[in-house]
Amino acid sequence: MDYNATTPLEPEVIQAITEALEDAWGNPSSNYMAGAKAKAIINQSRESVARMVGGKAEDIIFTSGGTEANNLVLHTAVEYFRRNCKAQEQGDGQQSRSKGLPHIITSNVEHVSVNLVAEHLQKDGQADVTFVPVSKVTARVEVEDIIAAVRPNTCLISIMMANNETGIIMPIQEICQRVKALNKQREWLRILLHTDAAQTVGKIKVDACELGVDYLTIVGHKFYAPRIGALYVNGPGTRTPLFPMLFGGGQERNFRPGHMRSTRLYLEDRLKAVFRDKITFNSHYPGSDVLPNTCNMSIQGPRLQGWRVLSNCARLLASVGAACHSDNANRPSHILLSCGVPTEVAANAMRLSVGRGTTKSDVDEVVEDLRETVQLLEEMN
């Protein structure tokens, strides 16, 4: 139950990759047959990925993964600001129009591939960054807090579409609507809008045009595809700026969100039936929607820290939070603390994320495994 960390490859995906490795090994930039075949497969894949997120094939940039895609957006925003400043100076012959450093707005619960990049840009003196805290009531970043953080030099707002630990879905469409209204009043610098949709593609509907974003990050291994990524850009290089970081040579069906939601609800019901008042759900917040497959919960007890319970389970495979933070597994998640979860509850947190293939029988096994493990640890106390 760690599908938010990664997913196995679908058999159709393995078959497609195998066929491509055998038949389309050519350089897609070459004119010979193997190269032409490779180019055709890439074009078809680009069409498929575009359909998944409501975009056009030309809007999809393939990347090595979500980290590269997110880095590309933040790098582009800084370069976009710099070029706008330079154009303003050349236009009026004054350097006073430059409004300091580029300003980026993000939240305090983003994936590290956004937060660490933002922190690096700030420490390196390349950008000012505002980390807007999520509400301790809803665990969402609130629209008004984002708008209040906007400055004249704000060039990018980057907010994840859903949190990888709590599953809470962020109000991206509302943020975009408000910012687009602001952009109409701004004289010289449009605010770019980005959402990291790593956790939502394949689980809930994702339509970049409906959301109103300029950039949207896609991560293959979160929805049964290879460990590569893609970046949706609304008209790359025309409507929306995109600048390279590197220099050198030039399937949306069968998501079954309803199945995953019913499986997660069954899981939560079974957990409540077994652990009763000992259990706390860290993904339930009033007024906030949650991913259909994600259950973040804590079982209360002095020896029931999440890492300890999971390391003693015989069958359950899950995590205490983001897989990227596995080295700090014995520390309470800063995401949960930011959402208002008490320290002693956050210390016991476990993230159970179901997938397409998870059955009620699997849930029953997992809950029984947890029951036996908790009983064992309590007897040891």
**Catalytic positions, please?**
324
- Bridge partners, residue 2, by sequence: 353
Closest by CA to 117, choosing from 217, 239, 236, is 217
- Give the CA dihedral 36, 41, 44, 48, nearest 10 degrees: -160
- Give the CA dihedral 61, 65, 66, 67, nearest 10 degrees: -110
Alpha carbons 230 and 193: distance in angstroms, whole number: 16
Q: CB of 263 within 8 A of CB of 363? A: yes
Q: What are phi and psi of 357, to 5 degrees?
A: -90, 0
Alpha carbons 100 and 127: distance in angstroms, whole number: 9
Question: Can you say whether residue 202 is alpha, beta or left, with left for phi > 0 and alpha for psi between -120 and 50 degrees?
Answer: left
| DSSP assignment string, 122-186 | HHTTS-EEEEEPPPTTTSSPPHHHHHHT--TTEEEEE--SB-TTT-BBP-HHHHHHHHHHHHTT-
